[in-house]
Amino acid sequence: MSSNNDIDALIEMMAKLPGLGPRSARRAVLHMIRKRALLLAPLSEVMATVAATARECLNCGNVGTSDICDICESETRANGQLCVVEDVADLWALERSGIFKGRYHVLGGTLSALESVGPDELRIPKLLARIDNEAISEVILALNATVDGMTTAHYIADQLDGRVTVTSLAQGVPVGGELDYLDDGTISAALTARKPM
Amino acid sequence: MSSNNDIDALIEMMAKLPGLGPRSARRAVLHMIRKRALLLAPLSEVMATVAATARECLNCGNVGTSDICDICESETRANGQLCVVEDVADLWALERSGIFKGRYHVLGGTLSALESVGPDELRIPKLLARIDNEAISEVILALNATVDGMTTAHYIADQLDGRVTVTSLAQGVPVGGELDYLDDGTISAALTARKPM
């Protein structure tokens, strides 16, 4: 393509990233080569650092640079609340909101009969162990509102039945959302869960 | 965001690439961390190599790893044809088609009164010098069919008037294109340039 092996190899690797295809990988690589001193060299260094140090927290599954992540290490986050999410990206999204002050548990996916993912493929045994170890009083199920997400939430709620309070995220109209653009399921959920003003 | 400085720095740099925003950069970084041995470490290495070796060809402006690029070095490409493009990405697109066997000249942009880009900001003086140095017989103007691209093409054609044959890419219906989906300008250009079957 570029008549140069290293540049072609870089394009090919960039094209494997989610959200990038061959065309956008070529654009990104050309952009990086133009800004090679300011962008390509520092990017390469920070990638090498992350490649060498990144690992999954042995306790919760969050991504960090130590065996136990900062959130699990922090005593101030041990408030008895444990928020269960499917993926590290969901954990980051909740952290950005800044509203949750407890700890997390990353399942690493959802139960799925089609893809034969059972409880042991996820971090569900570890979740059950943490309930006692960390004196958890409330488990907040923050799974995606998909069929697999809901199935997994119900499975976990069954497993925890009676041991701790189990809650889930409220369903309803998104902040800033317009009714006209919402699907029927969301409107019906918001109407069912209506509350006094 | 991820409560880790290196990972945050990586996300921030990735988000600066064209085609990626904060959200897709986070997705890409999580993907890379999951595949750190297979993707992140090799990607970091090839980036370091490219950062250290990539440079622009002193003759044509193509991107490569030596002062004179492979195409300019190759004697078999000295067939008297010189294809003028705006950008290295256009050169790569023409190379992928495999139909052009001459050499290239990358302008590095287009003339633009609004952004005060004149002939000396582009590689136009170098282009004029190459006509004699490399015994060019035909200059093919493969600029984008935008207003700035067309202005630049006319300027170059004026400068070269009488010295060499100057041609430009044909305008018309794209291969596989459906008339119903084409803009009026393209249809009118294709009709004007119609040819006997």
CB B47 within 8 A of CB A47: yes
| Closest residue on chain B to A64 (Cα) | B4
In CATH terms, are B5-53 and B76-168 the same topology?
A: no
Which residues of chain B make contact with A65, given a CB cutoff of 8 A?
4, 6-7
Q: Looking at the predicted structure, is the pLDDT value of residue A67 above 60?
A: yes
Beta carbons of A54 and B33 less than 8 Å apart:
yes
Rg, chain A, Cα only: 21
Beta carbons of A50 and B96 less than 8 Å apart:
no
Which residues of chain A make contact with B87, given a CB cutoff of 8 A?
30
Q: For position B173, what pLDDT does the model report?
A: 86
Residue B4, token pair as written in the block: 């880790």
| Closest residue on chain B to A24 (Cα) | B19
Among A122, A133, A125, A82, residue whose Cα is nearest residue A105: A82
Choose between A164 and A196: higher pLDDT.
A164
Judged by DSSP in three states, A100 sits in coil
Beta carbons of A43 and B4 less than 8 Å apart:
no
What is the CA A75 to chain-centroid distance, rounded? 22
Fold of domain B76-168: Dna Topoisomerase Vi A Subunit; Chain: A, domain 2 (3.40.1360)
Judged by DSSP in three states, A168 sits in strand
Q: For position A2, what pLDDT does the model report?
A: 57
Residues 127-186 of A with CB under 8 A from B: none
Q: What is the mean pLDDT of residues A45-58?
A: 91
Beta carbons of B46 and A10 less than 8 Å apart:
yes
| Closest residue on chain B to A61 (Cα) | B34
| Closest residue on chain B to A96 (Cα) | B1
Q: What is the mean pLDDT of chain A?
A: 89
Whether chain B has a CB inside 8 Å of the CB on A48: the answer is yes
Q: In one letter, which amino acid is A120?
A: D
Which residues of chain A make contact with B42, given a CB cutoff of 8 A?
13
Q: For position B141, what pLDDT does the model report?
A: 93
Of B32, B40, B50, B71, which to mutate for an interface test with A (greatest number of A Cβ within 10 Å)?
A: B50
Handedness of CA B69, B72, B76, B77 (dihedral sign): positive
Among A174, A117, A19, A76, residue whose Cα is nearest residue B31: A19
Q: What is the architecture of the domain spanning B5-53?
A: Orthogonal Bundle (1.10)
Q: In one letter, which amino acid is B3?
A: S
Q: For position B3, what pLDDT does the model report?
A: 58
Q: What are phi and psi of A85, to 5 degrees?
A: -125, 160
DSSP B87-132: SHHHHHHHHHHT---SEEEE-SS--BTTTTB-TTTTTHHHHHHHHH
Residues 56-115 of B with CB under 8 A from A: 62-65, 69-71, 87-89, 92, 95-96
Beta carbons of B92 and A1 less than 8 Å apart:
yes
Assign residue A2 a region (left: φ > 0; alpha: ψ between -120 and 50; beta: otherwise). Answer: alpha
CATH, domain range A6-53: 1.10.8.420
Q: Looking at the predicted structure, is the pLDDT value of residue A1 above 80?
A: no
Residues of chain B whose pLDDT is less than 50?
A: none
Measure the CA–CA gap between A109 and B29, rounded to whole angstroms.
18
Judged by DSSP in three states, A120 sits in coil
Q: For position B181, what pLDDT does the model report?
A: 86
- Extents of the domains making up chain B: 5-53, 76-168
Min Cα–Cα distance to chain B from A121, Å: 16
The predicted-structure confidence for B41-67, as pLDDT tens digits, reads as follows: 999 999 999 999 999 999 999 998 889
Min Cα–Cα distance to chain A from B48, Å: 5
Q: For position A19, what pLDDT does the model report?
A: 87
The CATH class of the A77-168 domain is: alpha beta
| Closest residue on chain B to A65 (Cα) | B4
Q: In one letter, which amino acid is A32?
A: M
The predicted-structure confidence for A5-27, as pLDDT tens digits, reads as follows: 889 999 999 999 998 999 999 99
Judged by DSSP in three states, A193 sits in coil
Q: For position A172, what pLDDT does the model report?
A: 87
Q: Residue B137 contacts by C-beta under 8 Å, 6 or more apart in sequence?
A: B80, B81, B164, B165
Measure the CA–CA gap between B131 and A175, rounded to whole angstroms.
63
